[in-house]
């Protein structure tokens, strides 16, 4: 049985960063990864370009994690977005900031981010063993015993950085939840988050690929509106995606109704008054021509007319009140019933995980089991798209690593 001071399970961004900073105090740190190579999911981030974080004040980050932003506050303020950018800049790795605030490596390569982290692990003496699947964890008198398919390890401190259950092909299969539950650590129910929506009787398959910037949409459940959103929306072959939909997906269930507005900032009553005025002023114009005055793409214009049961050559002077009502609904509150949110295979992150009530937010140590730590997506934390989840991974990894280091120095 090999003995280590710190053992980290999972070589994603949170695990790598935790190992780096835990090793700074000179303890023996072992990092175990079940995949043949580390950082497999990191390589997929931002379609391989790695949207590593977002600009802005850290206090504005807190609302990006739903009701759990308060728990993340110590980690985010301990290691901020500017700290993360500086970490890579100090290693001669420049970042670029887009107009929307997203931060990417200058090379636009996730592989370069991973290479930098691995080089830092090497410099700090972190021992990395890949293709090593953990099969069990048990508490011992002086720490923990970790069993793999070939060897057993003992460590004083243990960090669970196994990620969530999203993108299982990347190795994120929910292993960490089973490990911590077996130790007696509470785990909440998990579900996909940052995931596209599958729509029942979807009418826009022929418009797949059409996108809308800053679209207003609302979510309805059992006839009551539960949320209003503003964000970018994408039509897919099977339903809705895009950053706005992905961010909203954590609060959407099968059977919910998404109502889309295609007329910008106009509310239903405002659009009704404006459309009525235009028809009265141009009664011999075709309805499609009148509708073209609004920010609705031409192909969608024709589709909305068809779905409203309105012939393309119908003119304003033959436009009935019933037809007008149907068209107004299609333009301002087009209803789409959610068949189901996309599953773990397409979700970017996982909602749920290690219950935050059992974790000290100032150290990320378990409040139930001494010297047991949790970092990254294995925690019940999921953020918006745009770099917020990777920032949380690095911030929690840093905080746990530093917390372990302080304990090690004061042992």
Nearest-5° Cα angle at 17, 15 to 20: 110
Q: What are phi and psi of 93, to 5 degrees?
A: -125, 105
Longest pairwise C-alpha distance within the chain: 87
Burial tier of 61 (Cβ tally within 10 Å: 0-12, 13-18, 19+): buried
Q: Are strands 152-160 and 102-105 parallel, antiparallel or unpaired?
A: unpaired
CB contact at 8 A, 318 and 151? no
* 113, 169, 237, 244, 323 from 50: Cα distances, Å: 8, 18, 26, 19, 48
The dihedral region occupied by 49, where left means phi > 0, alpha psi between -120 and 50, and beta the remainder, is alpha
Helix (H, G, I), strand (E, B) or coil at 330: helix
Helix (H, G, I), strand (E, B) or coil at 374: strand
Q: Give the model's pLDDT for residue 26.
A: 85
In b/e form, how buried is each residue of 142-176, taking b as 16+ CB within 10 angstroms? ebbbbebeeeebbbbbbbbbbbbbbbeebbbbbbb
Token pair, residue 317, equals 């002077």
Q: Are strands 152-160 and 197-199 parallel, antiparallel or unpaired?
A: unpaired
The length of the chain is: 411
Q: Long-range contact list for 320-328, CB < 8 A, 24+ apart?
A: 324/275, 324/276, 324/279, 327/275, 327/287, 327/291, 328/268, 328/271, 328/272, 328/275
Rounded to whole angstroms, the Cα distance separating 394 from 375 reads: 9
Give CATH 3.50.50.60 domain extents, the chain: 2-192+344-409
Rounded to whole angstroms, the Cα distance separating 346 from 195 reads: 6
Q: Give the model's pLDDT for residue 409.
A: 80
Q: What is the CATH number of domain 2-192+344-409?
A: 3.50.50.60
Token pair, residue 82, equals 């500017």
Q: Give the model's pLDDT for residue 65.
A: 94
CB contact at 8 A, 218 and 247? no
pLDDT in tens, the chain (411 residues): 899 999 999 999 999 999 999 999 888 999 999 999 999 989 988 778 899 999 999 999 999 998 899 999 999 999 999 999 999 999 988 999 998 999 999 999 999 999 999 999 999 999 999 999 999 999 998 899 999 988 999 999 999 999 998 888 777 788 899 999 999 999 999 999 999 999 999 999 999 999 999 999 999 999 999 999 999 999 999 999 999 999 999 899 999 999 999 998 899 999 999 999 999 988 899 999 999 989 899 999 999 999 999 998 899 888 899 999 999 999 999 999 999 999 998 999 999 999 999 999 999 999 999 999 999 999 999 999 999 999 999 999 999 999 999 988 877
Q: Give the model's pLDDT for residue 408.
A: 82
pTM (two decimals): 0.90
Give 207-251 as a DSSP string. Answer: GTT-EEEEEEEEEEETTEEEEEEEEEEEE-SSEEESHHHHHHGGG
Q: Give the model's pLDDT for residue 410.
A: 78
Q: Give the model's pLDDT for residue 81.
A: 97
**Dihedral over alpha carbons 375, 47, 201, 338 (to 10 degrees):** 20
């Amino acid at each position: 049985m090999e003995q280590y001071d710190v053992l980290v399970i999972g070589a994603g961004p949170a695990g790598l960063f935790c190992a780096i900073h835990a090793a700074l105090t000179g303890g023996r740190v072992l990092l175990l990864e079940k995949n043949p190579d580390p950082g497999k999911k990191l390589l997929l981030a931002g379609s391989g370009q790695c949207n590593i974080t977002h600009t802005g004040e850290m206090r504005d980050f807190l609302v990006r994690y739903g009701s759990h932003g308060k728990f993340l506050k110590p980690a985010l303020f301990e290691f901020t977005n500017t700290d993360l950018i500086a970490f890579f800049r100090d290693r001669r790795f420049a970042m670029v900031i887009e107009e929307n605030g997203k931060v990417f490596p200058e090379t636009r390569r996730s592989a370069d981010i991973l290479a930098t982290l691995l080089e830092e692990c090497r410099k700090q003496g972190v021992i990395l063993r890949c293709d090593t699947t953990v099969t069990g964890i048990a508490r011992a008198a002086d720490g923990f015993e970790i069993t793999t398919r070939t060897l057993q390890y003992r460590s004083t401190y243990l960090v669970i950085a196994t990620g969530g259950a999203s993108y299982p092909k990347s190795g994120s299969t929910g292993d960490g939840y089973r490990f911590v539950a077996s130790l007696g650590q509470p785990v909440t129910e998990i579900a996909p988050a940052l995931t596209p929506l599958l729509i029942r009787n979807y009418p826009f398959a022929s418009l797949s690929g059409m996108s809308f910037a800053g679209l207003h949409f609302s979510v309805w459940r059992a006839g009551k509106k539960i949320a209003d959103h503003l964000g970018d929306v994408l039509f897919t072959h099977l339903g809705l995606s895009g950053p706005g939909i992905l961010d909203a997906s954590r609060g959407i269930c099968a059977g919910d109704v998404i109502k889309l507005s295609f007329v910008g900032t106009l509310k239903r009553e405002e659009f009704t008054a404006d459309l009525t005025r235009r028809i009265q002023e141009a009664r011999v114009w075709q309805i499609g021509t009148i509708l073209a005055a609004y920010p609705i793409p031409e192909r969608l214009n024709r589709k909305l007319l068809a779905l409203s049961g309105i012939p393309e050559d119908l003119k304003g002077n033959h436009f009935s009140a019933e037809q007008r009502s149907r068209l107004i609904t299609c333009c301002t509150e087009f209803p789409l019933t959610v068949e189901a949110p996309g599953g773990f295979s397409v979700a970017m992150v996982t909602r749920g995980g290690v219950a935050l009530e059992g974790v000290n937010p100032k150290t990320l140590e378990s409040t139930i089991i001494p010297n047991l730590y949790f970092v990254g997506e294995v925690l019940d934390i999921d953020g918006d798209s745009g770099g917020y989840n990777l920032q949380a991974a690095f911030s929690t990894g840093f905080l746990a690593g530093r917390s372990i280091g302080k304990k090690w120095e004061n042992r």
